[in-house]
Homo-oligomer: A and B are copies of this chain.
Amino acid sequence: MKAIEWLGNSLRILDQTKLPMVSIYREASTYEDVAEAIEHMEVRGAPAIGAAAAYGFALGALTYTGPREGLADHMEAVYNRLAVTRPTAVNLFWALRRMQDVLREARDMEDLDAIRLRLVEEADKIAEDDRRMNRLIGQYGNGIVPEKAAILTHCNAGALATVEYGTALGVMRSAHAAGKDIHVYADETRPFLQGARLTTWELMQDKIPVTLIADNMAGFLMQQGKIDLVVVGADRIASNGDTANKIGTYSLAVLAQAHGIAFYVAAPTSTIDLKMPSGQDIPIEERQGKEIREVFGVPIAPPDVQVYNPAFDVTPAKYITGIITEKGIVQPPYSVNLLKLMVRS
């Protein structure tokens, strides 16, 4: 199961809007193709968006047919197009900046093909780094999973949200591989149903026990003592530890604290945005009302009903027990400890 795969001249993207019913791929051969795939959430999940955008940037150079001196302007347009696809996940901007830095280093190179090669190499490196980081997140995360544990997760922070293995689901894969008796409860995660469609599917393929619930059942399960631990992914982590993640994460965090249940965020350090002092500054994407009014094109509400559809929310740091990264688990106070982590090589 690969969310994205580089084929040399194009990026093969598994269309996650159709899963798990059908597996359809988009073969993105232009940066516009990649931008659309990100916008339509065919590829989603902060780390996967970052890697896809990097390849999209590389495609911008690969498909460029103009003269050498026009490349910089063209690539600025490529950057701007990819940057407006999704505002909340910081990995997108992090990956695009890494690509821009490579382009800047190559500003004295005359050979267009050599520049293209450097950009593809960098995108490959971003993807490879993501694979490696997720394995490390899994290893560190396994340390906080008891021998027997019911773990609640929200949305999909799995292999499908990354290049491979997953962040929150990487923790579960790692615990399962270590022989622990874990059972995952997956919130269905309306409106886009990433939990119902993607998390269950991923875990079932790996034979990790999973039970699907509606989002509004999480509190009841906690009340009944059925949840030992909550682990979710992240789209952006501010320097004080405030974490933007899929809408509904904040409610889970408040509920977990009310029930004395540990609440962990699993994310690579590329998700940490030290320039954001707090979660209040993180832009929250609002998506079309149609996503709520319809499910797979089937109307579930009056067609003209007013809808509010924020795609993310921000969980204040005080609700977060720890942040599991590829460099280790960060604990409060986050303002100090995230900075320490980021300067550590």
Contacts and interface: CB of A to CB of B under 8 A. Distances in A.
Contacts of A204: 302, 304-305
Contacts of A219: 248, 250-251, 254, 313
Interface string A297-319: 01111101111111001100000
A215 B190 contact: yes
Interface in A285-304: 292-293, 295-296, 298-302, 304
A255 interface: yes
A146 B115 CA distance: 64
Interface in A193-232: 193, 196-197, 200-201, 204, 209-221, 223
A179 B38 CA distance: 46
- Max chain B C-beta neighbours (<10 A), residue from A185, A296, A301, A308: A301
A20 B301 contact: yes
Given A212-B292, A254-B254, A308 B200 contact: no
Given A254-B254, A254-B255, A255-B255, A306 B210 contact: yes
Contacts of A185: 308
Contacts of A37: none
B21 A200 contact: no
A124 to B, nearest CB: 32
A106 to B, nearest CB: 43
B200 A214 contact: no
A247 interface: yes
B188 A308 contact: no
A187 interface: yes
The contact size tier of chain A is 35 or more
A300 B295 contact: yes
A217 B247 contact: yes
A96 to B, nearest CB: 28
A212 B305 contact: yes
B254 A258 contact: yes
A112 B301 CA distance: 46
Given A210-B306, A216-B215, A305-B200, A188 B313 contact: no
Interface string A158-201: 00000000000000000000000000010111110100110011
Nearest to A214: B190
Interface in A234-284: 247-248, 250-251, 254-255, 258
A196 B300 contact: yes
25 contacts: A154-B216, A188-B292, A188-B300, A196-B293, A201-B301, A201-B302, A211-B307, A211-B308, A212-B293, A212-B301, A212-B306, A212-B308, A213-B307, A214-B309, A215-B216, A215-B248, A217-B248, A217-B313, A219-B313, A220-B310, A220-B313, A223-B313, A255-B255, A295-B295, A296-B298
Given A188-B190, A216-B251, A217-B308, 8 more contacts: A211-B306, A212-B292, A215-B215, A215-B216, A217-B313, A221-B308, A251-B255, A296-B300
